[in-house]
Amino acid sequence: MSAPSASLAQGASAPARPAKRRFDRKKWAPYIFISPFFILFAVFSLFPLLFSIYLSFNQWEAASGVEAMQWVGLDNYKYALSDPWFLRSLGNTVWLALASGVPQHLVAIPLAAFIHNSFKRSRNLVIGIYFLPFITSSVAIAMVFNTLFSRDYGQINVLLEWCASLPLVGGLFPAESIDWLGSSLFIKPAVAFVIFWRYLGWNLVLYLSALQVIPKDLYEAATIDGASTRQQFWYITLPQLRPMIYLAVTLTIMGNLQLFEEPFVLVAESSGVSQSVMTTAIFVYKTAFSSGDFGTASAISWLLFLIIASTTWVNNRIFSRNERREAK
């Protein structure tokens, strides 16, 4: 095997050309091999991204074709910011993000620690059970929860009714069936619960994986020093989990601010109360497809992007400041 010598020999007999071609091939091969990703990225990610920026400065009735675009400058942004439904959708999104996001972590961290310590062989099975909702189709989830939340025929109300009939504690429960998905008072908590239920398993897996890499020596040393389980959780587990908490909270912020599926499939769009759980992502969809206003929908998407980016940045600052403070 003597590729270099062969090329040298060729180079000597027929100067430059073949050598140059081979050289080019080597130079370009990696780019060609890696090109499918870039081509797909350009077609399916970069182009839509750039197109949606351009679209947000245009008025466009999509059904009339690309020719129907009209440049309107910042008009779509001004219009979106003056729309009461946009502001309401932002309020709904933040409400749902907090009500479903905060408990996810508050429950997932201690639960992960508990599963990590208590289950040995059956741990994977338990994790699997918690993770199942995350991989279940949202349509199936909607069907199940629609049935559970049903006012007249739902299991939750049946259970509440049974509780209300108990002798001493009965008075604590509502006497009448609750219209979970039909009243503006209960619809938000009901939807938030479904989101919490769905993403708890995801966070649990993140925290469990982080728990597994905490050195055992720390706990052994703490045990020798006489630290209780609770002290070990507060002074070892939680600080060691910080990088993962940062990642998980960041993912939750990004995911929850883009909430779409759960409220969309759980609540009939035509019902008046659907406005109570209309997130910004649903509002984008409605603006585009119900109102046929794709320009404004793009503008709202970019406003949502700015909000997510700045919230993530704030989250980053909070975590890094805490870290700096601790380093001191």
Partner 1 sequence: MKSSIPGAGFPAASLLAALTLAGMANAAAVAVPVVPAAPVLPALAPATITVASFPDLDRAVKTALPLWEKLYPQVKVKLVSLQIDDHHNSMTTALAAGARLPDVMAIDFRYVGSFAESKGMEDLLQAPYGAGQYRDRFVPFTFVQATSSRGTLGAMPADLGPGTLFYRKDLMDKAGIKEAELTASWESYIAAGKKLKAATGTYLLAGASDLADIVIRANLKDGEGIYFGDKGQVLVDSPRFVKAFELAKAARVAGIDARTVAWTGEWAEGFKRDKVASQMMGSWLSGHLAKWLAPESKGQWRVANLPAGALASYGGSFYGIPKKAANKAQAWEFIKFMTVNKDIQLHSLKEIGAFPALKAAYADPMMDEPQAYFGGQKTRLLARETAAKIPVIRVDKFDAVARDIVNMELESVLAQDKDIKTALADAKALITHRARR
Q: By the criterion CB under 8 A, which residues form the site for partner 1?
A: 59-68, 79, 82-85, 143, 146-147, 150-153, 179, 182-184, 268, 270-275, 286, 289-294
- The CB density around residue 321, as the number of other CB atoms within 10 Å, is 10
Q: Least separation, in Å, of the C-beta of 273 and partner 1?
A: 6
| Torsional class of 101: left (φ above 0), alpha (ψ -120 to 50), beta (otherwise) | alpha
Q: Least separation, in Å, of the C-beta of 292 and partner 1?
A: 5
- In the bound state with partner 1, the residue whose beta carbon lies nearer, of 243 and 292, is 292
Backbone angles phi, psi at 88, to 5 degrees: -65, -40
- In the bound state with partner 1, the residue whose beta carbon lies nearer, of 135 and 143, is 143
- In the bound state with partner 1, the residue whose beta carbon lies nearer, of 115 and 187, is 187
- In the bound state with partner 1, the residue whose beta carbon lies nearer, of 150 and 252, is 150
Q: Least separation, in Å, of the C-beta of 187 and partner 1?
A: 10
Distance CA 164, CA 171 (A): 6
Q: Least separation, in Å, of the C-beta of 174 and partner 1?
A: 16
- In the bound state with partner 1, the residue whose beta carbon lies nearer, of 145 and 207, is 145
- In the bound state with partner 1, the residue whose beta carbon lies nearer, of 261 and 293, is 293
Q: What is the largest distance, in Å, between two alpha-carbon atoms of the chain?
A: 104
Helices within the chain (DSSP H only): 3-13, 17-41, 47-55, 75-81, 84-118, 123-135, 138-149, 155-164, 187-212, 216-224, 229-232, 238-257, 261-266, 280-289, 294-327
Q: Least separation, in Å, of the C-beta of 150 and partner 1?
A: 5
- In the bound state with partner 1, the residue whose beta carbon lies nearer, of 153 and 162, is 153
- In the bound state with partner 1, the residue whose beta carbon lies nearer, of 44 and 289, is 289
Q: Least separation, in Å, of the C-beta of 152 and partner 1?
A: 7
Distance CA 123, CA 114 (A): 11
| C-alpha closest to that of 145 among 295, 284, 263 | 263
Q: Least separation, in Å, of the C-beta of 22 and partner 1?
A: 42
How far is C-alpha 65 from the geometric centre of its chain's CA atoms? 33
How far is C-alpha 268 from the geometric centre of its chain's CA atoms? 23
| C-alpha closest to that of 231 among 318, 321, 320, 113 | 113
| C-alpha closest to that of 237 among 108, 122, 103, 327 | 108
Q: Least separation, in Å, of the C-beta of 76 and partner 1?
A: 10
Q: Provide the b/e sequence for 152-190 (b: ≥16 CB within 10 Å).
A: eebebbeebeeeeeeeeeeeeeeeebbbbbbeeebbbeb
Backbone angles phi, psi at 49, to 5 degrees: -65, -50
Q: Least separation, in Å, of the C-beta of 138 and partner 1?
A: 15
- In the bound state with partner 1, the residue whose beta carbon lies nearer, of 194 and 205, is 194
